[in-house]
Amino acid sequence: MARAHNFFPGPAVLPVPVLEATRDAVMDFNGIGVSIMEISHRDKAFEQVITEAQNDMLAIMGLSPDEYAVLFLGGGASMQFAMVPLNFLQKKAEYVNTGEWATKAIKEAKVIGEVVEVASSKDSKFSFIPKNIQFSPDADYVHITTNNTIYGTEWKTDPDTGNVPLVADMSSDILGIKRDFKKYSLIYAGAQKNLGPAGVTVVVIKKAWAEKAKQNLPNILKYKAHIDAGSLYNTPPVLPVFVVRQTLKWIIAQGGLDAIQKQNEKKAQIIYDVIDAHPDFYRGTVTVKEDRSLMNITFVLPTPELEDKFAAEAKARKMLGLKGHRTVGGMRASLYNACPIESVELLASFMEDFYKANK
């Protein structure tokens, strides 16, 4: 199979063994003689898939199943922008605004209640992560976006919010970097960046906090209803859950988060080194180096014409998905977990060649 070099920001590259296992399960799940798509989600064989995915998720994160639950929900990360405040915003919530997704999360929460934008890098085009933020002790929760997919910044340390529950949208760096996951009361991630296909959102939630959620909600929107049902409150997206389970097994086989992070640091450094070697040609958009994302590397070229040429010549070499987000332009190389280092090395050497030919 001729695989292209996949730098798409999401949906994005998946490990080949995961695709192969999925292909097989689509034709014949577990040797049962039906497709994974043709069997009850309450069948033991599928229950085993979802239970393994939940256990592996927590094991990789170093979290206890006594304390945390893993849910596989529909509606994307965008659904969580609404579900989090619906469940937990009573008086006020504090949000850190680090980009477009954070802005959307804030907008949805404002429909529900009082939102304090406790820190923001908006005035600097979201080119860094705000530091030394003073969180107030009486907020219902603090919300951050750990990796800003569009602007290429990433929280490298996890903030301290004292007794105030910490919530994070980790859609684009979940299991791509080690974190102190115990600091978080709720983590959510659309699977389609680093874990699987579109159609499932992974939620990792502290069970004790879910008990304290607002009660006057439809059941389908209550985390507690999903926790009590083991994430089988209604039919979960079975095929995406299967893919996530295979990806988690792949992560464990790679050596877990330690090995994954090391590899991601190495990959990102290869591209940042090219950018830093030619700062007048490739201009990184992130102003504070320690805030540079391991996952989404954003840079601009001297002119939009050169950017188009860059994307076209890369595409001719089977390097896909390098254009920046439609709202910000420029270039973006997304180097998620499953992006092989060979693709990254090829991109770096192409960037060197393109620089020499066009400087």
Ligand X SMILES: *Cc1c(COP(=O)(O)O)cnc(C)c1O
Residue 15 is a binding residue for ligand X (CB under 6 A): no
Query: Nearest residue to ligand X, using CB?
Result: 76
Q: Say if CB 227 and CB 210 are below 8 A apart.
A: yes
Active-site residue, 155 included: no
Residue 76 binds ligand X (CB under 6 A): yes
Contact 105, 145 (CB under 8 A): yes
Nearer to ligand X, 70 or 301 (CB): 70
Q: Which of helix, strand or coil describes residue 238?
A: helix
Minimum CB separation from ligand X for residue 192, in Å? 6
Residue 236 in the binding site for ligand X (CB under 6 A): no
Take residue 44 and report the two structure tokens written for it.
Answer: 């033991």
Q: How far apart are CA 333 and CA 335, in angstroms?
A: 6
Number of residues that bind ligand X (CB under 6 A): 12
Selecting among 56, 140, 155, 169, the annotated active-site residue is 169
For the chain, report the end-to-end CA distance as a whole number of angstroms: 36
Q: Is 56 in the site for ligand X (CB under 6 A)?
A: no
Complex with ligand X: residue 50 or 73, whichever CB lies closer: 73
Q: Which residue in the set 6, 149, 246, 334 belongs to the binding site for ligand X (CB under 6 A)?
A: 149
77 binds ligand X (CB under 6 A): yes
CB of 78 vs ligand X, minimal distance in Å: 3
- Reference 263, options 274, 253, 277, 249; nearest CA is 253
DSSP state of 324: P
What residues contact 217, with CB distance under 8 A and at least 6 apart? 86, 87
Single out the segment in contact with ligand X by CB under 6 A; choices: 156-164, 167-175, 219-227, 303-311: 167-175
User: Phi and psi of 331, rounded to 5°?
Assistant: -115, 155
Catalytic annotation on 309? no
Instruction: Tell me the three state secondary structure of residue 305.
Output: helix
For the bound state, the minimum distance from the C-beta of residue 201 to ligand X, rounded and expressed in Å, comes to 6
For ligand X, which is the closer residue by CB, 101 or 350? 101
Which one among 6, 54, 121, 171 touches ligand X, defined by CB under 6 A? Answer: 171
What is the smallest separation between the CB atom of 264 and ligand X, expressed in angstroms? 16
Q: Choosing from 140, 155, 193, 222, which is the catalytic residue?
A: 193
User: Smallest distance, Å, CB 81 to ligand X?
Assistant: 8
Contact 137, 163 (CB under 8 A): yes
SS3 call for 96: strand
Q: Which stretch binds ligand X (CB under 6 A): 169-177, 268-276, 320-328, 329-337?
A: 169-177
Rounded Cα gap, residues 266 and 202, in angstroms:
27
CA dihedral 135, 141, 142, 147 (to 10 degrees): 160
**Which positions from 83 to 112 touch ligand X by CB under 6 A, shown as an x/- string?**
------------------x-----------
Of the two residues 47 and 100, which places its CB atom closer to ligand X in the complex? 100
Is 293 a binding residue for ligand X by CB under 6 A? The answer is: no
The verdict on whether omega for the bond into residue 11 sits within 30 degrees of 0, i.e. cis, is yes
Determine whether 101 is an active site residue.
yes
Question: Under the criterion CB under 6 A, does residue 169 sit at the interface with ligand X?
Answer: yes
Nearest alpha-carbon partner for 42 in 50, 34, 33? 50
Between 15 and 99, name the residue whose CB sits nearer to ligand X. Answer: 99
Candidates 76-84, 115-123, 125-133, 204-212: pick the segment binding ligand X (CB under 6 A). 76-84
Name residue 115's beta-bridge partners.
93
Question: Tokens in use for 88?
Answer: 């937990």
Show the tokens assigned to 179.
Answer: 């974190």
Beta bridge pairs of residue 187: 168, 204
Residues of the shown chain interacting with ligand X in the complex, contacts defined by CB under 6 A: 10, 76-78, 101, 145, 149, 169, 171-172, 190, 193
Which residues does the annotation mark as catalytic? 101, 169, 193
